[in-house]
């Protein structure tokens, strides 16, 4: 007989926050490198991940980000547009719009993220199912640009309802990461070598 495994029914979506505004390098996600924008390289890497049902780019509703949406349309990637400053609500809206049970946050300014790291953290989440949040950025042991976070959409929705500070909301999952008394957190450290 077949046993019911809820992990088999979990819809897993990679959400990539990306916008043209940046204090240090405006427009960086659409800067061309080797014939395609940096966002294109990131999308290529994410597509190599196993166990991911969909990818969505969560961009700002400002007109300057139309170019991101146009590029995603060209690539067949769904785009969600939301608040520029309230990244937490933008992430929640994006994941809800595609009925995601599990969110995998990969940052738009990390075009060299290793798909094996994404798979590793996602596998840890699926095998344990005991953590509200699993990431490799609670403590720094990986090279910059390799940050990945995995969580249930309902946990992100809970943090969205609880967090009232706009400075925290600007950083997406920061409320979860700074409230270990509310959420069970787990960090995946880089291997010693």
Nearest-angstrom CA–CA distance, 53 and 141: 28
pLDDT band at 23 (very low <50, low <70, confident <90, very high): confident
Helix H or strand E segment including 80: strand 78-82
Residues 6 or more apart whose CB falls under 8 angstroms from that of 164 comprise none
Q: pLDDT at position 4, please?
A: 34
Token pair of 114, please? 């290793």
Mean pLDDT within 123-141: 92
Mean pLDDT within 46-67: 96
Q: pLDDT at position 25, please?
A: 79
Compare 59 and 193 and report the one with higher pLDDT.
59
The number of CA neighbours under 13 Å toward the Cβ of 103 is: 32
- Whether residue 3 is predicted with pLDDT greater than 60 in this model: the reply is no
- Whether residue 1 is predicted with pLDDT greater than 70 in this model: the reply is no
Helix H or strand E segment including 119: helix 115-128
Helix H or strand E segment including 160: helix 153-162
Mean pLDDT within 152-178: 96
Mean pLDDT within 185-191: 94
Q: pLDDT at position 193, please?
A: 80
Q: pLDDT at position 192, please?
A: 85
Q: pLDDT at position 9, please?
A: 59
* Percent of the chain residues topping a pLDDT of 70: 95
Residues 6 or more apart whose CB falls under 8 angstroms from that of 76 comprise none
Q: Which of 9-13, 141-145, 147-151, 161-165 has the lowest mean pLDDT?
A: 9-13
Nearest-angstrom CA–CA distance, 20 and 66: 9
The mean of the pLDDT values for the chain is: 92
Helix 38-46 / helix 66-75 crossing angle, nearest 10 deg = 40
């Amino acid at each position: 007989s077949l046993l019911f495994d809820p992990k088999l029914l979990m819809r897993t979506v990679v959400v990539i926050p990306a916008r043209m505004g940046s204090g240090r390098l405006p427009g960086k996600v659409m800067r061309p490198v080797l014939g395609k924008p940096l966002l294109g390289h990131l999308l290529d890497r994410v597509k190599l991940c196993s166990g991911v049902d969909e990818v969505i780019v969560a961009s700002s509703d400002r007109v300057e980000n139309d170019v991101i949406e146009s590029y995603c349309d060209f690539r067949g990637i769904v785009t969600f547009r939301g608040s520029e400053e309230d990244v937490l609500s933008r992430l929640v809206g994006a994941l809800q719009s595609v009925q995601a049970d599990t969110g995998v946050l990969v940052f738009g300014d990390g075009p060299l993220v290793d798909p094996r790291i994404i798979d590793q953290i996602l596998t840890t989440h699926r095998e344990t199912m005991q953590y509200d949040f699993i990431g490799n950025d609670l403590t720094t042991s990986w090279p910059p640009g390799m940050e990945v976070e995995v969580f249930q959409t309902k946990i992100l929705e809970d943090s969205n309802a609880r967090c009232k500070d706009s400075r925290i909301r600007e950083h997406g999952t920061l409320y979860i990461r700074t409230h270990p008394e509310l959420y069970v957190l787990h960090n995946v450290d880089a291997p010693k070598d």
